[in-house]
Structures are given as structure tokens and as C-alpha cells.
Structure 1
Amino acid sequence: MHIHIENDASAPRALHLSVEQLQLQLDVHPPLRSHFTLSENRDPAQTADFLARCDILWSGRKLALDQFSTPRLGWVQVMSAGVEQWLAHWPQGVTLTNASGVHGDKGAEFILMAALMFNFGIPGFLQDQAQRVWRPTFGGCARGKIVLLLGVGGIGAAAATLLTAQGYRVIGVTRSGQCDANVARCIRIDALDEVLPQVDVVVSTLPLTPQTRNLFDRRRLDLLTARAGIVIVGRADVFDYSAMREKLNVGELAGAVLDVYPQEPLPADDPLWHTPGVVMTPHCSLDDHSAYLAGCLDVFIDNLARFRHGQPLRNQVDPARGY
């Protein structure tokens, strides 16, 4: 079988997988050695030729597969966790696996850091610093405060462990109302409204699907109290950013730590830049370039072994659900 590698030419070199790197991994796994041929494309103009003869695709860039002839393609491994752009025109009969879980450790630390920022009033202090205002506020410890965790996948589950160890009471939110993560309780999405008035921090790691788009609209934001902070590291369009910004402007939220935005890069004239209580990072909270490629490659090698033995693949995406 033939594996083809499509790297993103605009991505850092640390995120490029070479034929040599993949071959080394195959050679140290006897069940995989000598069972695959490999190719790597360095010229996007030749992508169609490579896709026409590959059985498995490793892709570091987004491709509209319906624009290519892929008669042999049976499986695509992508380097991202979010796959909504891939699924827009997904061909039937092709398996898709993503990089879910690779972001877990760093994402969990970022989420814990953001939650603690609200506990100590850091978003407000940053605003005061910019205005040269001396305004002490005195709060308590994190223990017992409630974090609502929207999504308890690889990142969410890792965050739940750190938050719980810090003393937070974590409520997970999933489609089924069930999860294996270290949470105090887990609820279904349709039970959100009844818990929102109790919440101190809302954390979203959710992917963008038809069910999650605008899940946190103005009505749901209005159910939060002024002490609540928001952390978004999943897809931005799960939230109504305009409504969130309006509530921050009038002091009806404690702040927001945002790593993702409806448009990226965020335009220089976007009012979010000077919204009070907002701490912004430029979509870099989850990725560790020193370890990311290796983590994705671990998933891929494991899946290659499963693929050869006809076993279910890790991180297999359900196109109907969008994740």
C-alpha cells in the first residue's frame, strides 16, 4: 500500500513530516516494515498526481478532496483536531482520523492557568495597569469554585484532572451526559441552562459542528453571573462573540481568556482588542511545536498497525457528528 505525505508549505518546519522520518518509524515496528511505499509532495501543482495513486494520506494541510481523483484512497490522517473544513465535501467510503489528544498536556495547563487568572482577578488588574489605576481586590482560593467544561475529549479530560487537583468542582458537558474524565458530574448539553447561574468559569474545547455552532448565544450568556469568566480554546463560532463583548463592556462578566476568533488573524480594527477584561493569545495555546509532530506520528503509527489488522482506528471521525 502507498502512503502519501502532504505538508503545509506555510507551516513551521517542525511540523513537516518527511519520508525519511516516517520510514524510520516503520522500520522499528516489525509488523509495519516493508508493507508500505512512501511519497512526499513538495510542489502543490503535483498534488493531483500523488492523490490519484495513494491508499493512505497523511496531510498537514487542508484539501478539498472532492476536487481530486482518489480511486485508491481509503484513509486520511490529518494533523489537526478540528475537521469541519475537511468534512464540507467528504467523499463516501474514506476513513478520517484526526489529532485529538495530542494537544492534551499543554492545553490542560493553559486552561488551569486561565481559570486561576479569574480567581485572582488578573484580567481586571491588567486593565487597571493599562489605565494606571490602583485598585486592590481580595478574593479567596480556587477550592470549591465551579468550572463548566464544554467538551471532555482529549484536551477537556486532561484539563479536568488538573482543575480537580487544584480544588475546582468540574462539571463536564457532553452529548450523552456521560464521560470517563475526572469530573464531579457530567451533564447533557440540553441541561446547560440550569447550571449556568452557578458557574464561576466556562471553558470551551468544543469542535465546530452543526450542533455546537452558536451554542453559547446571547440568551445563554445572560444566564451567567457577573463573577463568571470565559475561556475559549476550541472553535470560536461556538460563542456569540458580539454578545460576549457587549457583556464585558458593561461589566456583566469577570473577563475572557480567548485563543480563537471568528476571523484570524484578528483585524487591527476589531473592537475586541480594547474590550475590558479580555486576555488574548493568537491561537497558540494548545500546540507545542517541539512535541506536536511526534505526538501525531505516534497516533499514525498505532493506527497503521490497527489498519493492517482490520481493527478500529484511534481518533476516527464520524462525518455525521463532525468529530
Structure 2
Amino acid sequence: MHIHIENDANGPDALQLPVELLRQRLETHPQLRSHFTLTENSDATHSATFLANADILWAGRKLALDQFAAPRLSWVQVMSAGVEQWLPHLPQGVTLTNASGVHGDKGAEFILMAALMFNFGIPGFLQDQAQRLWRPSFGGCARGKTVLLLGVGGIGSAAARLLTAQGYRVVGVTRSGECSAPVERCISIDAIDEVLPQVDVLVSTLPLTAQTRRLLDRRRLDLLPKRAGIVIVGRADVFDYNAMREKLNAGELAGAVLDVYPQEPLPTDDPLWHTPGVVMTPHCSLDDHAAYLEGCLEVFIDNLVRFRSGRALRNQVDVARGY
């Protein structure tokens, strides 16, 4: 059986999977030794040749697979958690697994940091600093404040643990209204309107699907109290960014910590750069390049063992749901 690695020549060196590293891992694993042949490619012009003979694909970059003849391909392991750009081009019968959970530890710390920033009024203080304004504000501790956590997958579950330990009251939101994350309660997406007016911090780790696109539209943003802060580390198009920006300009939200944007890089003339209360990071809050490749490789090796034994794969994407 043949595994092909597609690396991204334009990506960081730390995210390239060398074929020798994978070969070493396979040869030292008793259940995988001598069962696979390997190739690697980082030149997009040569992908078709390699994919023609691949049974399994490690994808370090996005590929429109329906543009290639890959008659043997049965499974694709991608290095991202989001898969919305893969699904429209996924050939029928090909299994897709993602890197869900690899971002968990760093993502959870970022979310906790952002929540505490709102608790201590940091977005407002940063705005005052830029204008040389001295406006003390004396608040309390985070304990007892409400975080509405949109999505409790790998990142959301890890964030729920840290937030709960800090004393926040965490309400999780899932498609079904059920989850195993350490939250006070879990509700379905359809029930969020009743909770939004109680929220101190709204956090989104959601993937982009037909159900989540513009989930937080102007009507729902209007349900949030003025004290609420927004943290977005999932997909940007879950929110109406224009409506959010207008509410921030009007002083109707406490602020927003944003790591993702409708267009990236964010254009230099985008008004979001100058929106009061916004703290921006350039889509880097979740990734730890020192550990990310190793985390993805751990998922892949585990899945190769499962694949050989005919067991269900870890992080298998439900094509109908989109995640």
C-alpha cells in the first residue's frame, strides 16, 4: 500500500513532513513496519503523477482532488481542522480525516487569555492608551461570569476546562445540544437566542458549514448585552463582521478579540483596523509550529494502525455535516 506526502513548498519548514521521518516512524512501529511504500512531493506541477499511484494521502496543502486521476486513493489525512475547502472536491468514497484536537492546548490558553482581557477591560484600556486618556475602571473577578462557547470539539473542550477552572460558568453549544465537555450545560444551536442576553464572553471555535454560516447575524448580535466581549478563533464567516464592527463603533459591545477574518491577510484599508475595542492577531492563535507537525503525525500513525485493522478512523469527517 502506498502513502504519498504532499507538502506545501511555500509553508513553514516546521510544517513539512520529510519522507524519511515518516519512514522511520513506520519502521519502528511493529504493526506498520514493511507494509507501506512512500513518496513525497512539494511541487504542485508534479502532484498528478504521484496521486495516480497513491492509496493514502498526507495533505500538507489544499488540493482539489476531483481534478486529479487517483483511482486507488481511499483516505486523505489533512493537517488542518477546517475542511470546508476540501469537501466540494472530495471524490466519492474517499475518507477524510482532519487534525482536530492538535490545536487544543494553545487554543484553550488563548481563549482563556481573551476572556480575562474582557474581565479586566483591556480592549478599552488599549483604546484609551492610544488616545492618552486616563479612565480607571474597577471590576471584579471572573468567577460566576458566563461564557457561551460555540463549538466544543478539540479546542472548545480544552477551553471549557480552563475556563471552568478559572470560575467561569460555561455554556456549550453543539448541533445536537449534547456534549461530553466539562461545561455547566450544553444547548443546541437553535437555543442560543435565549442565552445570548446573559453572556459576558461569546467564544466561537465553530467550523464553517451550511448551518453555521452567518449564525451570528445582526439580529443575534443585537441580543448580546453591552458588557459582552467576542472571541473568534473558528471560521470568520460564522459572524456578520460588518454588523459586529458597527456595534463596536456604537459602544454596544465590550470588545472583540479576533484571530480570523473574512479576507486574509486583512486589507490595509479595512475599517476593522481602526475599530474601537478590537484586538487583532493574524490567524496564529491556535498553531504551535514547534509541536504541530508532531501532533498531526501522532493522529496519522494512530489512524494507520486503525486503518490496517479495519477500525473506525480518528477525526473522520462527516461529509454531510461538514466537520
* Shared fold (TM-score, shorter chain, > 0.5): yes
Q: Structure 2: which amino acid aligns with 1:127?
A: Q
The answer to whether residue 307 in structure 2 is matched with residue 268 in structure 1 is: no
Deviations 1:78-127 (A, max 9, x none): 00000000011221000000000000000000000000000000000000
| DSSP 3-state at the match of 1:5 | strand
Q: CA deviation at 1:43?
A: 2.2
Output the CA distance in 2 between the equivalents of 1:115 and 1:40.
42
Output the CA distance in 2 between the equivalents of 1:286 and 1:159.
12
Equivalent residue runs for 1:103-182 within 5 Å: 103-182=103-182
Deviations 1:118-147 (A, max 9, x none): 000000000000000000000000000000
Residue in structure 2 matched with residue 211 of structure 1 by the alignment: 211
| DSSP 3-state at the match of 1:260 | coil
Output the CA distance in 1 between the equivalents of 2:315 and 2:243.
34
Deviations 1:147-179 (A, max 9, x none): 000000000000000000000000000011110
Output the CA distance in 1 between the equivalents of 2:17 and 2:59.
9
Output the CA distance in 2 between the equivalents of 1:19 and 1:90.
24
Contact 2:8–2:42, Cα closer than 8 Å, also in 1:
no
| DSSP 3-state at the match of 1:141 | coil
Output the CA distance in 2 between the equivalents of 1:187 and 1:166.
21
The answer to whether residue 300 in structure 2 is matched with residue 300 in structure 1 is: yes
Residue in structure 2 matched with residue 32 of structure 1 by the alignment: 32
Q: Structure 1: which amino acid aligns with 2:142?
A: A
| TM-score under structure 1 length normalisation | 1.00
Output the CA distance in 1 between the equivalents of 2:135 and 2:28.
60
The answer to whether residue 246 in structure 2 is matched with residue 249 in structure 1 is: no
Deviations 1:56-79 (A, max 9, x none): 000010000010001000000000
Residue in structure 2 matched with residue 288 of structure 1 by the alignment: 288
Q: 1:102 to 1:298 in 2, by over 3 A?
A: same
Residue in structure 2 matched with residue 314 of structure 1 by the alignment: 314
Output the CA distance in 2 between the equivalents of 1:152 and 1:42.
34
Residue in structure 2 matched with residue 59 of structure 1 by the alignment: 59
Deviations 1:189-242 (A, max 9, x none): 000000100000000000000000000000000000000000000000000000
| DSSP 3-state at the match of 1:88 | helix
Q: Structure 1: which amino acid aligns with 2:106?
A: K
Contact 2:3–2:55, Cα closer than 8 Å, also in 1:
yes
Residue in structure 2 matched with residue 200 of structure 1 by the alignment: 200
Output the CA distance in 1 between the equivalents of 2:108 and 2:202.
14
Residue in structure 1 matched with residue 12 of structure 2 by the alignment: 12
Q: CA RMSD in A?
A: 0.4
The answer to whether residue 201 in structure 2 is matched with residue 232 in structure 1 is: no
Residue in structure 2 matched with residue 92 of structure 1 by the alignment: 92
Q: Structure 1: which amino acid aligns with 2:104?
A: G
Q: CA deviation at 1:42?
A: 3.0
Output the CA distance in 1 between the equivalents of 2:47 and 2:89.
18
The answer to whether residue 74 in structure 2 is matched with residue 74 in structure 1 is: yes
| TM-score under structure 2 length normalisation | 1.00
Length, aligned pairs only? 323
Q: CA deviation at 1:257?
A: 0.1
* Gaps in structure 2 of 5+ consecutive residues: none
Output the CA distance in 2 between the equivalents of 1:289 and 1:234.
18
Output the CA distance in 2 between the equivalents of 1:25 and 1:144.
47
| DSSP 3-state at the match of 1:23 | helix
Contact 2:142–2:166, Cα closer than 8 Å, also in 1:
yes
